[in-house]
Structure 1
Amino acid sequence: MTEDQILEKTNRINLLFDFYEPMLTDKQQTVLKLYFHDDYSLGEIAEQFKISRQAVYEHVKRAEVTLEDYESKLALLSKHERRLKLLGEAEEKLKDSPEDLAGCASDYLRRIVHME
């Protein structure tokens, strides 16, 4: 995995964690916070919990799978990203043609509100 791919994966897990943190177990929350937010190594987490590095790795992987499973079912991150994209497009449209403000704003608001 390249450094860019690792960073992209870390960012995705952090975003998924922001949306689905309450749905994880306390241990999953703690391990993911330490690993992804606080940048602890597997060894440092293992030492803190008095478990093996392999056990920490398995906790991280299971939590990642759980987050991706929630996203596949609920799509909160995907919807959020689409809303942000639509808002960006609306801002650009408004800069280009302010005379069409009412129609353009109405169209984008409708698309954002009715997004599934």
Structure 2
Amino acid sequence: MKNITPREKKLIKKARIKELLEVYSNLLTDKERKILSLYTDPALTGAAIAKKLKVSRQAVHDHIRRGVNKMERCETKSKLLEKRRKKIKIFLEIEGILSKKELSKEEVETLSKLFEQLKNLE
């Protein structure tokens, strides 16, 4: 298993927050949403966000922690992000099959099964 550098770990964390924001941003206060949106920019640090918004670094950290905790709690209960990932995977499979000019009987059956899986994710 590859060792993850601290920079890579931070980028993974920011990518996770960005995904959570796409699904759960409406749960956040305006301030949390703004700070987390800025935080997901790989070029911005907490200190840079604090300077830009004229708040303390501690305030930025607190808003990030609170906002992420809210979104993670909701994801734990609802699994919307997990379902979204499954849907995307199924859509990509369907797209791959449909990109062929002619479909075999097995491919048509696979498409039917994939559509059923999508229905069950609702």
Tell me the TM-score range normalised by the shorter chain.
Answer: 0.7 to 0.9
Which whole-Å deviations, capped at 9, do the CAs of 1:28-87 have from their partners, x for residues lacking one?
Answer: 011111221374322232234443212211211111111111111221110010112223
Does residue 108 of structure 1 match 2:111?
no
Between the aligned residues of both structures, percent identity stands at 32
* Segment of structure 1 superposing worse, 100-109 or 60-69: 100-109
Give 1:21's aligned residue: 25
Does residue 83 of structure 1 match 2:87?
yes
Structure 1 gap segments, 5+ residues each:
none
Structure with a larger share of its residues in helix: 1
Q: TM-score normalised to the size of structure 2?
A: 0.77
| Aligned equivalents of 2:88, 2:55: Cα separation in 1 | 41
Q: TM-score normalised to the size of structure 1?
A: 0.81
Q: Aligned pairs, how many?
A: 115
- Do the aligned partners of residues 69 and 53 (structure 1) sit closer, same or farther apart at CA in structure 2, a change above 3 Å counting? same
* Segment of structure 1 superposing worse, 71-80 or 37-46: 37-46
Structure 1: which amino acid aligns with 2:109?
Answer: G
User: Over aligned residues, Cα RMSD in angstroms?
Assistant: 2.4
